[in-house]
Copies of this chain bind each other. A is one copy, B any other.
Amino acid sequence: MYRSNTCGALRASDTNSIVTLSGWVHKVRDKGFVAWVDLRDRYGITQLVFDQDRTSSELLDKARELGRETVIQVKGEVIERASKNPNMPTGDIEVLVTELQVLNESKLPPFTIEDETDGGEDIRMKYRYLDIRRNPVKESLIFRHKVTMEVRKYLSEAGFIEVETPYLIKSTPEGARDFLVPSRMNEGQFYALPQSPQTFKQLLMVGGMDKYFQIVKCFRDEDLRADRQPEFTQIDCEMAFVEQEDILNAFEGLTKYLLKEIKGIDVSDFPRITYDEAMSRFGNDKPDIRFGMEFGELNAVAQHKDFNVFNSAELVVGIAVPGGASYTRKEIDKLIDWVRRPQVGAKGMVYVKCNEDGSFKSSVDKFYDQEDLGKWAEVTQAKAGDLICVLSGDTNQTRAQLSALRMELAQRLGLRKPDEFAPLWVIDFPLLELDEETGTYHAMHHPFTSPKPGQLELLDSNPGDVKANAYDLVLNGNEIGGGSIRIHDKEIQATMFKHLGFTPEEAKEQFGFLMDAFQYGAPPHGGIAFGLDRLVAILGGQETIRDFIAFPKNNSGRDVMIDAPAHIDDEQLKELHLRLDL
């Protein structure tokens, strides 16, 4: 038996007990005549004491020489500490050691195993097994476990059945790229790893499973943006005999439950806004509504004067920055530089200072008088002391630019509080999205999303205007879930495939099994999928997902710890009937 207790367990009430502990040497404080060793395991730290009065000199010497991260086992008596440490759960006691055994030596770790480490990102990833010993990473993984347990508990109690769908499936060339898996037993043929279990969960609905969920890995062979992973985890859900309202209610329930159980927070019913409204009020389909700074559209009040920049713009739009009237000229110039960075891409920025005395001072005083600017303030809801920032140009681009500025300023002003949670539903997404490069439309969500009733007819005349029974759950400026009511009618599905540019043969080859299934009594159904990695990170008060994943990959899709992907034997390639073509 390696231990009678963990290193986080002992309290004053254990005084005089004889205990056995095992763990890692976290720290040694050596005063010569006395040495303290902090012994660490997953559960905490317990202080061991060795001194020349009560410990054999041999044992004391052994303790003094212990290196950091050595694995040891000790036996000893729990004694009350002379100077207690109220910041440690075990701070009332220490263990007077009588036996010490080194279970495994350790080389000096490449970075310190402390909450604030001296290790950079790269070295921490290479030695991830050491990084996991650090509290912030360890606690993030434990937190993730807790969240998934609560998700399963809630959904299971609500009658959802977790069903495992296959990982070795069939490639569907549209959309993001699949990872492919050559089959040895079926020469020249390939499986694909699922980008999501979408078609399988729909087949489960056809199969009468009624309420399905799965916490499941999904895969996308995409060029990785920052904070994306080639393998990621979804909470995947589907329900039969439901309308959009049923799904929103079910998963609003889950989200409220998680906020309550995990964070102790009660939130009221989630606001619902349409995609169009989200775009016009926040310039963004995943708005952070923890703070205001809503968009004010200024076309009506700014396009009547001689300012050509505005007159020729499709959209003139501004936000009121609280307290921004006090910014210096230099600070405002810096803001202008910020929006002109290629990542944002604005051509310039017009600003209006709303002075405390009720007057306005703008960068376009030549064109607009106080009355004009007063109207701007009204539209943007600017108060005395605020700064109105105005961008203009193409509607979509301008909204994206102003949204970026809004988020950046909120961050700087401390308005994006990690302990505040403001969920909302964004509904009525467009069914189709124009690919600006190719000029063709593709499914904004996926080809199985149903158009809103009566809008199917618009597909030919105004494809971009067709709205879908599609919705996103947004939390603190992040899309944490998205879903839709699906098409369950074979004819409508065939029409959709046609509009998405599939020939009937292509549709049959790729989705024939689903079209077949729809012939045998498919029920109305719909669902949602949550990005677990991000959900957990946001609930944990963080913006990056990496520390909530035990063994993440880097931006090149590499696992630098195990050094994968890697070259393989010629023999293995031969068995797969493949040759490299570099």
Interface residues of A (CB under 8 A from B): 1-3, 22-24, 40-43, 69-71, 103-107, 109, 127-133, 138, 141-142, 144-145, 148-149, 152, 156, 161-171, 173, 177-193, 199-200, 203-204, 206-211, 217, 219, 221, 223-224, 230-231, 233, 241-243, 245-246, 488-489, 512-513, 517-524, 549-551, 553, 556-559, 561-569, 572-582
Contacts and interface: CB of A to CB of B under 8 A. Distances in A.
B564 A169 contact: yes
A513 B551 CA distance: 13
Contact of A142 (B103, B161, B179, B579): B161
A148 B129 contact: no
Contact of A513 (B166, B171, B563): B563
Contacts of A572: 171, 173, 178, 180
Given A104-B521, A166-B551, A210-B42, A582 B187 contact: yes
B565 A574 contact: no
A523 B162 CA distance: 35
A578 B200 CA distance: 29
20 contacts: A24-B208, A42-B208, A43-B210, A70-B521, A104-B524, A130-B206, A164-B549, A167-B193, A167-B219, A171-B566, A181-B565, A182-B182, A183-B221, A186-B558, A188-B567, A189-B565, A189-B567, A192-B564, A200-B551, A513-B562
Contact of A580 (B40, B162, B188, B242): B188
Given A185-B556, A187-B582, A520-B106, A170 B565 contact: yes
A204 B132 CA distance: 8
A38 B550 CA distance: 50
A89 B581 CA distance: 64
Interface centre among A107, A223, A246, A581 (most CB of B within 10 A): A581
Contacts of A185: 221, 223-224, 556-557
B568 A171 contact: yes
Contacts of A489: 104
Given A3-B241, A168-B230, 7 more contacts: A43-B210, A71-B524, A129-B204, A165-B551, A181-B181, A189-B567, A203-B561
Contact of A164 (B1, B182, B233, B564): B233
Nearest to A523: B71
B186 A163 contact: no
Q: Which 9 A-B pairs have the closest CB atoms?
A: A132-B207, A106-B521, A170-B564, A189-B565, A2-B241, A42-B210, A183-B565, A69-B521, A129-B207
Contacts of A568: 171, 180, 189-190
A2 B166 contact: no
A246 B204 contact: no
Contacts of A166: 231, 551, 553, 559
Given A104-B488, A106-B521, A579-B581, A208 B170 contact: no
A550 B204 contact: yes
B581 A550 contact: no
Given A165-B551, A565-B189, A129 B577 contact: no
Contacts of A189: 565-568
B164 A206 contact: no
A107 B579 contact: no
Contacts of A563: 170, 512-513
A573 B188 CA distance: 11
Given A162-B148, A180-B181, A550-B163, A557 B521 contact: no
Nearest to A519: B107
